Structure 1
Amino acid sequence: MSWASLLRARPGMKAVLTAGVLVTTLWHLRHFLTPSEVSREASKHTKPLLVLVWEWPSKQVPNISGDVCRELYGITGCWLTMDKQLLGQADVVVFPHTRLQPGRDELPKERPPQQHWVWVSLESPSNTKGLSRWNQTFNWVMTYRRDSDIFMPYGKLVPNRSATVNIPAKTNLVSWVISNYQRTQERAKVYRNLSRHLHVNVYGRANKKPLCKDCLLATTSKSKFYLAFENSIHQDYITEKLWRNSLMAGTVPIVLGPPRANYEQFIPADSFIHVDDFASPAELASFLRTMSASRYRQFFAWQRGHSVKLYSDWAERICTICSAYPSLRRGRLYPDLQTWFGS
């Protein structure tokens, strides 16, 4: 029902027209509209949460519309913008750490009293520098860590109604996709020791076998096992190497990262192999080579009732701020971001 029709239908409603905008009080709405009409009209005029993204986290900046959270992800009451001229009106301002490096724009000099700033990072502490510059700056943090104000994992298992197990056909034993190979990294050491006992199919720029954009899952799915090795070992740092390259591809992940107990807070204990479960690379290699078909199939029991939800869209990640907003703590700043993140 339009405001004009409301006035015609209920001439007793008191209203004030100011600067071309009809202003009514909740008292008048309650007395002149039915409950369903109150709900509809109130929802139309509820101020959405305005989230300003100071700089987009990735190199490819999307052409986001203000209501993208509702249109794409069903998250209502959230308005995204990258217009810095709206800084004074924003409820939340998002600052990706990758865009806070020297040589880029610094933070705004001032902020409204009720505005909240969010520090965002999906990198591990080993690959995150310059945090000491931002003490007493941010109200909330948004990272892959479960103790973040806004928890944003790389992926998760979500319930579905499937009762089947789908294991792609296998043509080789173990594969690994690696673009940044550094001999001093723990994952490089484990790979070298393991490869002495079995063959590992290595792909990626580091081995001069780059995969096309749509070839990754098709390639890794052909292996029985995948080396889901993280570039550094930190609490909750479990990346797309597990979620996309392995579980989504339909292969069994061999993980190198935080302890097994930490992985089990994300995925079932029988869905992966941890390198720490074995006394030596030779023992791990023997376990992989001699595994029976029935034992191998047990690793896919998670597929009965679950599927992988991958978080790779930054717009979706930022929209989750609006879902978390009502329950976030107010009135504090992180005194020492580096100490918190490195703990």
Structure 2
Amino acid sequence: MGSLLVPTGKGRCYLPGFFRCYLPGFFRACLVIVSLLSLFSCWLYSTGRLHRLRRLGSSSPAQLLRDFPVKTFLKYWEDHGGRRLAAGSPPDFHDKMFTPVLEAFRNPDGRDGRRKRSGDVPKVVAYIDKAFLKTKWFVAHVRDIQEGHCPLPCTITTQLSEVTASPEDYTGFESGDCWSLVFGYIVETADAVFIHMKSIPSREKLLRDLRPRDPSQPWIMFEAETHFIASTKYKVNYRTLNGVFNRTMYYRRDADILFNHGFIVGRGDDASLLPRHWVREPLVHRANVTGRIAVAFISNCRARSNRLLYINELQKYTTVDVYGRCGRLKCGKSRYAEHEYRVDQDPCLRAAADKYLFYLAFENAICDDYATEKLYNLMFYPLVPVVLGGANYDDLLPPNSYIDARQYAPSELAEKLQHLAEHPQEYQTYLEWRKYYQPSTVGSSRVLCDLCTRLYDQAFYEENTIEDFYDWFVTKSHCTAWVAANGTGQRVA
């Protein structure tokens, strides 16, 4: 059993860690009362009040209570007692978008016992362009599956020999020249088909490659970005994809499989469930902060969110330094999710943490649930994020850990940032969450683990068709843009 250390002016007073006891409610309440009385005694001793009361002859309990300054004691409790107890108590925040993944790690034996099409371990065929096939991004996802980091196993392939091989002969993903599986019988042996949105040349080519879909086989539409840039290469008309897919893998919470660019998890038990490379101890303290107000890293200068318009307005009232193609300052390269990429070793982000107080995590589009690695990469460092996006950030981030720019006009936001910069103690309250939670450090390179997990869910194979794909993919994303006239969102097509 742990102990609670309460520092005093004349020594140290140890209290049992009662809040970790798993006793019946009545006994636990009694122990809490005893703990409070013990803390009260420590307070009397540390402040010299007990000695002073005895010297004055006022040592009766009634006299002690009558002379007891409640506000002073509560402040002492907050500073020396309550905070320590909170550090050892279960977190009261849970990342709602990441919870299904965490539950899969907590209960990894949740298999349905259903024999898959080609054995006990589900197989996935990936329909993906060879340009993406050879990127570190896709290789990183598959490596997590190969190395057993996912809570439940599956195999994913883009080659004929891998699909037809027996499980004991399976050697995992190897980057090759084949960019799609063009033989119908190969697809028939797979438990699901993973279709990369940016790799679809046309509806006709897709259906010709994959043959007609078995109603019980999931064809999973996968996309990491909004519909604005999902088909920049082939310019697919989304309306032509009506009736093609029956499952989705997307950043929106109404998708069958959630694509998260990052997550926040409680320290201790929750963090210990995950692969070590998914979370690392965040940087809590920093030295020699110069006190510049805000920084942004932006390379897409034509974002549908109009984030640069907001920043331009904000710069009229306070200092905002912009790095990347859209600013005058340069540092490093694009920071999209890579397996080898480590946020804690990024020299640009570390330099930003030593120089600035706030980080503008302004998304390229303001769409429901859309929050990218732009937000999570900087959560490792002790900066306060200022967000501009369509996500419900209360579901993603701990309380009092961020500032939502959509709640302020640029002039009002500048005033708030300046106020916090001039009041360090108040600013520090936005960093308190770091004592109890850890941010992800791998971006979205764990997303395929979610896919493997869902393949063990019998309901995932139930017959379903997205008849109006345009409505689901575009209309229901509810994308808006910031407009300078009144600082509110305005629907964009």
**What TM-score comes out, normalization by structure 2 length?**
0.54
Deviations 1:150-184 (A, max 9, x none): 01211111121399981333222210111011387
Deviations 1:297-343 (A, max 9, x none): 111122122111255455x3223212122334410111112211221
Structure 1 CA distance for aligned equivalents of residues 325 and 311 of structure 2: 16
Determine the structure 1 residue equivalent to 2:216: 114
SS of 1:253's equivalent in the other structure is strand
Q: Cα distance, 1:196 vs. partner?
A: 0.5
SS of 1:286's equivalent in the other structure is helix
2:303–2:364 contact (8 Å) kept in structure 1: no
Q: Cα distance, 1:112 vs. partner?
A: 4.1
Structure 2 CA distance for aligned equivalents of residues 101 and 207 of structure 1: 34
| Aligned equivalent of 1:285, options 414, 417, 431 | 414
Change (3 A) 1:134 1:321: same
Determine the structure 2 residue equivalent to 1:166: 284
Structure 2 CA distance for aligned equivalents of residues 210 and 189 of structure 1: 20
1:146–1:236 contact (8 Å) kept in structure 2: yes
2:296–2:359 contact (8 Å) kept in structure 1: yes
Structure 2 CA distance for aligned equivalents of residues 215 and 179 of structure 1: 18
SS of 2:448's equivalent in the other structure is helix
Structure 2 CA distance for aligned equivalents of residues 191 and 64 of structure 1: 34
Determine the structure 2 residue equivalent to 1:156: 263
2:310–2:410 contact (8 Å) kept in structure 1: yes
Residue 356 of structure 2 corresponds to residue 256 of structure 1? no
Letter in 2 for 1:266: L
Residue 126 of structure 2 corresponds to residue 53 of structure 1? yes
Q: Cα distance, 1:54 vs. partner?
A: 1.2
Letter in 2 for 1:49: P
Structure 1 CA distance for aligned equivalents of residues 141 and 249 of structure 2: 22
Determine the structure 2 residue equivalent to 1:132: 239
1:66–1:81 contact (8 Å) kept in structure 2: no
Letter in 2 for 1:194: L
**What TM-score comes out, normalization by structure 1 length?**
0.76
Indicate the structure (1 or 2) with the bigger Cα radius of gyration: 2
Moved more, 205-214 or 285-294: 205-214
Q: Cα distance, 1:123 vs. partner?
A: 1.0
Change (3 A) 1:217 1:266: same
1:65–1:81 contact (8 Å) kept in structure 2: no
1:155–1:311 contact (8 Å) kept in structure 2: yes
Determine the structure 2 residue equivalent to 1:220: 352
Deviations 1:12-41 (A, max 9, x none): xxxxxxxxxxxxxxxxxxxxxxxxxxxxxx
Determine the structure 2 residue equivalent to 1:25: none
SS of 1:318's equivalent in the other structure is helix
Letter in 1 for 2:431: F
Q: Cα distance, 1:240 vs. partner?
A: 1.2
Q: Cα distance, 1:110 vs. partner?
A: 2.7
Structure 2 CA distance for aligned equivalents of residues 148 and 77 of structure 1: 21
Letter in 2 for 1:87: V
Determine the structure 2 residue equivalent to 1:95: 195
Q: CA RMSD in A?
A: 3.0
Q: Cα distance, 1:99 vs. partner?
A: 1.1
Change (3 A) 1:332 1:99: same
Letter in 2 for 1:285: A
Structure 2 CA distance for aligned equivalents of residues 255 and 211 of structure 1: 21
Q: Cα distance, 1:125 vs. partner?
A: 3.0
Structure 1 CA distance for aligned equivalents of residues 141 and 304 of structure 2: 44
Determine the structure 1 residue equivalent to 2:372: 239
Residue 268 of structure 2 corresponds to residue 193 of structure 1? no
Moved more, 192-201 or 112-121: 112-121
SS of 1:226's equivalent in the other structure is strand
Residue 336 of structure 2 corresponds to residue 230 of structure 1? no
Determine the structure 1 residue equivalent to 2:427: 296
2:373–2:444 contact (8 Å) kept in structure 1: no
Structure 1 CA distance for aligned equivalents of residues 317 and 428 of structure 2: 23
| Aligned equivalent of 1:321, options 448, 451, 475 | 451
Change (3 A) 1:197 1:183: farther
Structure 1 CA distance for aligned equivalents of residues 249 and 221 of structure 2: 6
| Aligned equivalent of 2:472, options 320, 340, 343 | 340
1:67–1:79 contact (8 Å) kept in structure 2: no
Letter in 1 for 2:398: P
| Aligned equivalent of 2:436, options 305, 311, 316 | 305
SS of 2:385's equivalent in the other structure is strand
Letter in 2 for 1:190: Y
> Structure 2: which 5+ residue stretches go unaligned?
1-114, 160-180, 232-236, 272-280, 334-345, 477-493
Q: Cα distance, 1:46 vs. partner?
A: 5.3
Letter in 2 for 1:288: L
Letter in 1 for 2:383: T
Structure 2 CA distance for aligned equivalents of residues 98 and 267 of structure 1: 30
Structure 1 or 2: more strand by fraction: 1
Change (3 A) 1:301 1:64: closer
Structure 2 CA distance for aligned equivalents of residues 237 and 65 of structure 1: 20
Determine the structure 2 residue equivalent to 1:266: 396
> Structure 1: which 5+ residue stretches go unaligned?
1-41
Change (3 A) 1:287 1:297: same
SS of 1:80's equivalent in the other structure is strand
Change (3 A) 1:119 1:184: closer
Letter in 1 for 2:402: F
